[in-house]
Amino acid sequence: MSSFVPTGPTGDVSNAFERLRRLLPKIRYHRPLDAVQACAGAPEALLPVLHYALLEFSHDIARHISACGYELMGKTDARFVQECFRMLGDVFEYHPSVSAKQFLARGFAERKLNLVADTIRLVIEKKKRLAAPAPTARRMSVHTPSPTIIRTVGGEQALQEPAPSPRADPPPVPAAKATVQTDDRTLDLITTLAARLDNLEAGLQTSLETINAKLVILEGRVRFLEFRERSPTKTPELPAKHDALERPEDDSPETRRDNSVESRKGRSVEVRPDRSVERRHVSAAPPPPAPVRDKSQMEASPPDDDLLHSNRNVSSVVECTDQVRGALETLSTTPDANFISNLMARVQQTDQMLARAQQDRHEGESRPSYAMHE
């Protein structure tokens, strides 16, 4: 291939621009071209034309450039111009009159316009050569012998057709080798898709953990509400400082046992209020005395079902709050930090109320309300 002679500078920028403008329809470039920026030597006006001529105008040209070892896709402007200048010298034997650094700066308008116009001409000529059909092989002439005349005994003549000559088999067509070329842009796209899939899986895992933790919290709240509904007595609230404390009457087995023993002995029993309950309201009526039972009846009497059911509910709620704490620890890594802190405070307050209610119930069972005196 003979080296291409670049167009020399003449000092007429408008003539160079007009020459480039006439070449654009030949490569089907119908995008607008800023004449002011192009005549000023702005690289942002000429880089799209150069990129289109080398990579988008013809797939044959793009494959030919890639087959020669030059990858122009997915490059920055500086890398694209440097690779393009090296490719023009090696593939098209064309040496630009400006350097890559000068092309990326403003100025040198006429030389840049001539460079882009010469590149378009080179691409058009290369496309014609790549699209030209390959020369066909010369056909081999096959001589067909003329039929021979055979004279028979009776004097008649007959024509004998000659035997067809064997034809040579056509040469095998070489199979084209499929070349797989992976450019940098495809690798970047695959890496980006893999990273996005990893982020999506991590987000789904976090969402599932958050949903499970919230379900555990809601289950704990439902169980706590069920406990409050089934409980024989409501959860006590903290009394005010000026209110008097009221203690329920003591109906423990120890008190009933003492009453039965004293009644059998025939002694008079004087019931006096305990000192711990002297602070009752004056208007409150004294509770009725505990019924006297026989020792055998006391031993055969079953335990209080309401008390056992209440204790069982309290223990279940305490276990449920442990699950709620585990769920809150899981949710502490989620964006709902304020909601979790408030909910943790409410759960701790509920635990304190349940523990205080259970402690008061045990104290009321173990301490008698009335002292037995002779």
174-215: per-residue pLDDT in tens? 554 444 455 778 888 888 898 899 889 988 988 888 898 888
- Per the model's pLDDT, the better-predicted residue between 36 and 303 turns out to be 36
Residue 314's pLDDT is 45
Q: Which of 29-43, 164-178, 341-355 has the lowest mean pLDDT?
A: 164-178
Identify which of 349, 346, 351, 348 has the alpha carbon closest to the alpha carbon of residue 315. 351
pLDDT above 50: residue 18: yes
Residue 368's pLDDT is 58
- Per the model's pLDDT, the better-predicted residue between 176 and 360 turns out to be 360
Q: What is the DSSP letter of 57?
A: S
> Per-residue confidence at 363, pLDDT binned at 50, 70, 90?
confident
Query: pLDDT tens digits, residue range 204-222?
Result: 988 888 898 888 888 888 8
Q: What is the DSSP letter of 51?
A: H
What are the Cα distances from residue 326, in Å, to 148, 206, 212? 109, 15, 11
Domain parsing of the chain, residue ranges = 13-129, 253-281+290-373
Phi, psi dihedral angles at 159 (to 5 degrees): -95, 135
Region 343-355 average pLDDT? 79
Q: What is the DSSP letter of 56?
A: I
Specify whether the CB–CB gap between 289 and 207 falls below 8 A: no
Residue 42's pLDDT is 93
239-246's contacts with Cβ under 8 Å and 24+ in sequence apart are: 244/279, 244/280, 244/281, 245/279, 246/277, 246/280, 246/281, 246/284
What are the DSSP calls for 68-106, one per residue? TT---TT--HHHHHHHHHHHHHHTS----SS-HHHHTSS
Residue 357's pLDDT is 82
Residue 222's pLDDT is 87
Q: Is 372 helix (H, G, I), strand (E, B) or coil?
A: strand
Q: Which of 15-24, 51-60, 85-94, 221-230 has the lowest mean pLDDT?
A: 221-230
Region 266-290 average pLDDT? 46
- For β-strands 148-151 and 157-160, DSSP reports them as antiparallel
State CA 195 to chain mean position distance: 9
Residue 299's pLDDT is 43
Token code pair at residue 168? 């040579």
Residue 303's pLDDT is 46
Across the chain, what does the average pLDDT equal? 71
- Per the model's pLDDT, the better-predicted residue between 75 and 316 turns out to be 75
Regarding the domain delimited by 13-129, which CATH topology (the fold level of the hierarchy) does it fall under? Actin-binding Protein, T-fimbrin; domain 1 (1.10.418)
> Per-residue confidence at 36, pLDDT binned at 50, 70, 90?
very high
> Per-residue confidence at 89, pLDDT binned at 50, 70, 90?
very high
Q: Which of 26-40, 81-95, 300-314 has the lowest mean pLDDT?
A: 300-314
> Per-residue confidence at 77, pLDDT binned at 50, 70, 90?
very high
pLDDT above 80: residue 280: no
Residue 85's pLDDT is 94
